[in-house]
Structure 1
Amino acid sequence: MGWRGILGFDYGIVQAPLGPDISGPELVAAVAKAGAIGILRAPDWESPDYLRELIKRTRSLTDKPFGVAIVLAFPHDENLKVILEEKVALLQVYWGEFPRELVEQAHQAGVKVLHQIGSFEEAEKAKKAGVDGIIVQGREAGGHVIGQEGLMALLPRVVDLVYDNGISVIAAGGIVDARGYVAALALGAHGVCLGTRFLATKESFAHPFYKQKLIEMDRTEYTDVFGRARWPGAPHRVLQTPFFGQCRNLPEEINEASQPIIGSSVIHGVPKEIPRYAGTVPNATTTGDLESMVLYAGQGVGLIKEILPAGQVVEMLVEGAQRIICESFL
């Protein structure tokens, strides 16, 4: 079962890499201490010295293994070198191909590779590349969503694809509690990846306003309104805030590049201005018109009722899944 451990970790629970810097050292260390897989989000630009310090800061908070994620759509070659040099336990890649030669390079450094995919075709490529694990992201997921298929339909196909290859399959999209965890295991997954649930934790670097909206709101929508200029062709799932309700039908030719500045933030140590319709969620440093900023969330957000310590989230998932299986299936 997933709680018995995958990829060398105690439990089959993955904390998704939350952008742009929401999953920082404090959250990752808390998840790692609880026996699950915490993943740092690397900058979406080349910043090798900063990333090395980020890894060291995390190691100062825990002696447990953890991972680092890169988005392949953005510059990452120098960041990747640092990840391999620092020999973190796991490299997570997303939104692009990661060929066999790079997987082998990671393996030579003692780093396992976890590739997040959104289609069966992407899963075939990841299998061919020799990755250690595949995160199957359904359309229910929050944040940027690369695929169009629902998790229930896509997950079993990927499980069947890699069943004899020793590749761990991890389900992602709308999972926030033990019931979702058990459902994913029933479909053949070895573990689960949660983003929104770990976003709503005490250790996440999200702005308190953002966390509160995750508790108050329960509806999301799949859209392409935010961040069109910086990351074209990258649809996402967001909370249905009043501001989003006003701009959900935004004409395709309008994007954040020509919009007024509505706030500012420090992201991975770099001051950034936030224009209207930007794809940047508010972190703890953000100031300005927070009501008009994007708030990513998955479809399971309505099940989140409180902000909890990340370690407690892991504990609830593990104990809850064990209880459900013992009471209902044994």
Structure 2
Amino acid sequence: MGWKGILGFDYGIVQGPLGPDISGPELVAAVANGGGIGLLRAPDWESPDYLRELIRKTRSLTDKPFGVGVVLAFPHEENIKAILDEKVAVLQVCWGEFPGELVLKAHQAGVKVVHQVGSFEAAKKAIHAGVDALIVQGLEAGGHVLGQDGLMALLPRVVDLVGGRDIPVIASGGIVDERGYVAALALGAQGICLGTRFLATEESYAHPVYKRKLIELDETGYTNIFGRARWPGAPQRVLKTHFFNDRGHLPEHENEVDQPVIGRTTIHCMEREIRLFAGTVPNVTTTGDIESMAMYAGQGVGLIKEIIPAAQVVKRLVEGAQLLIKQKFLAETV
């Protein structure tokens, strides 16, 4: 096992399940081949046969273990059954409680359960349910944000809560380089989960304009203007694009339903219209007014300067963190 490996993987580097389909088989396989934990994103509707195809396509690209992320706020029972039938290494869940009996089913199938939480109370419930690891998401994270606490305040509290249990704590939110990795380790984490950094890779399924904006822009906004009808009560962190700066306000009684159509896309083989303020991020199939669509990103986006292969992200994180610890910390103890 390599440096800081968790859950049987080489490294403590987790690629977040970028939705709705940005982390497809190519990205997940690239991360897995690099020694990290790659996570597919399950559809937000029941589609077990299609999900099996995704899993099998990923297996055709890597002989390494990987996982699937499921948002519990959406229909998921048949999808989870497919995941357990396929015996992937990891089932990652978020936005909801994962009952103990489902954890037991996963364990009976040989699948480890990783629960992403955004609060101390949610961490308590997940530990009680018997999960194998926790992803602790801070307010700095991109996309839909679970809680209101910053990572530096929340992470050590959850680490103390876990105590001596064999439950790795994985830090998420604003981390993009080795400095963030080492900081998370100093706070007690055993691994890190990155979304935005893996979004800005060659293998991610994000639209080229979206990727370019991740390099060009360095500020984010925390808002609830996108996707209110589809996913109420789920605020998000997005890039401060020209659209967001000019139109980043929507009266509380309004949502995307009555807004004009600004594009079309295919998500998990389903063709869909994209309305203004829909919150649908542009993938490579998306057409229309791309720059007026939601572009999720974490606060660390200003540190991302180039689009690189996903395996190189893993390599830089691991080697950079090793070197940083050796040069800045171990040297001082000699």
The TM-score bracket by the shorter chain reads over 0.9
Partner of 1:182: 182
Residue 247 (structure 2) aligns with: 247
**1:138-153 residue pairs with structure 2 within 5 A?**
138-153=138-153
- In the alignment, which residue of structure 1 is the partner of 2:296? 296
Structure 1 gap ranges (5+): none
SS of 1:31's equivalent? helix
Partner of 1:109: 109
Aligned residues: 330
1:51 corresponds in structure 2 to 51
How big is the shift at 1:249? 2.3
User: Aligned letter for 1:263?
Assistant: G
Greater alpha carbon shift after TM alignment, 238-247 vs 61-70:
238-247
Corresponding residue for residue 198 of structure 1: 198
Distance 1:248 1:279 in 2: 12
Q: Corresponding residue for 1:94?
A: 94
**Match of residue 229 from structure 2:** 229
Asked if the contact 1:2/1:191 (under 8 Å) is kept, the reply is: no
C-alpha deviation, 1:248, in angstroms: 2.1
Q: What is the TM-score normalised by the length of structure 1?
A: 0.99
**Counterpart for residue 275 of structure 1:** 275
Take 1:143 and 1:310, find their aligned partners in 2: how far apart are those partners?
A: 19
Query: How much does 1:291 deviate?
Result: 1.1
How large is the RMSD of aligned CA atoms in angstroms? 1.0
Q: Which runs of 4+ in 1 moved over 3 A?
A: none
How much does 1:250 deviate?
1.2
1:4 Cα deviation (Å)? Answer: 2.6
Q: Is the 8 A contact 2:4 2:191 kept in 1?
A: no
Q: TM (normalized to structure 2)?
A: 0.98
C-alpha distance in structure 2 between counterparts of 1:18 and 1:111, whole Å: 20
Q: Which residue of 2 aligns with 1:287?
A: 287
Deviations 1:15-57, CA, capped at 9 Å, x for gaps? 0000000000000000000000000000000000000000000
Report the CA distance between 1:242 and its aligned residue.
1.1
The Cα of 1:329 is off from its aligned counterpart by 1.3
In structure 2, the partner of 1:68 is 68
Distance, in Å, in 1 between the alignment partners of 2:83 and 2:3 is: 27
Q: Which residue of 2 aligns with 1:17?
A: 17
Aligned partners of 2:208 and 2:153: how far apart in 1?
A: 35
* d(CA) in 2 for partners of 1:87, 1:57: 14
Is 1:34 equivalent to 2:34 in the alignment? yes
User: How big is the shift at 1:160?
Assistant: 0.4
Superposed displacement of residue 81, structure 1: 0.3
Task: Give the Å deviation of 1:328.
Answer: 1.2
* Inter-partner Cα distance in structure 1 for 2:278 and 2:314: 32
For the residue of structure 1 that corresponds to 2:264, the secondary structure is: strand
Question: Is 2:202 the counterpart of 1:213?
Answer: no
Preserved contact between residue 137 and residue 172 of structure 1 (Cα < 8 Å): yes
**Ranges in structure 2 where 5+ consecutive residues have no aligned partner:** none
Cα deviations by residue, 1:142-167 (Å, 9 ceiling, x for unpaired) = 00001000000000000000121110
Amino acid at match of 1:205: Y
CA contact (8 A) 2:2 2:10 kept: no
Give the structure 2 partner of residue 126 of structure 1. Answer: 126
Distance in structure 1 (CA, Å) of the matches to 2:246 and 2:257: 19
Measured in 2, the distance between the counterparts of 1:210 and 1:106 equals 35
Q: Which moved more, 1:243-252 or 1:19-28?
A: 243-252
Give 1:91's aligned amino acid: L
CA distance in 2, matches of 1:246, 1:111: 46
Q: Secondary structure at the match of 2:105?
A: helix
Q: Counterparts in 2 of 1:298-317, with a 5 A limit?
A: 298-317=298-317
Q: 1:2: Cα distance to partner? A: 8.9
- Give the SS at the match of 2:262: strand
Q: CA contact under 8 A between 1:185 and 1:191: conserved in structure 2?
A: yes
Deviations 1:50-76 (A, max 9, x none): 000000000000000000010000000
2 CA distance for matches of 1:70 and 1:24? Answer: 14
Contact 1:139 1:148 in 2 (8 A): yes
Q: Using the TM superposition, give the Cα deviation of residue 122 of structure 1 relative to its aligned residue in structure 2, in angstroms.
A: 0.1
Q: 1:196-246: per-residue Cα shift (whole Å, max 9, x none)? A: 000000000000000000000000010000000100100000001111112
Residue matched to 1:80: 80
The answer as to whether partners of 2:4 and 2:190 remain within 8 angstroms in 1 is: no
Using the alignment, how far apart are the partners of 1:65 and 1:245 within structure 2? 41
Residue by residue over 1:117-172, the C-alpha shift from the partner in whole angstroms, topping out at 9 and shown as x without a partner, is 00000000001001000000000000000100000000000000012111010000
Q: Aligned AA for 2:184?
A: A
- 1:315 Cα deviation after fit: 0.2
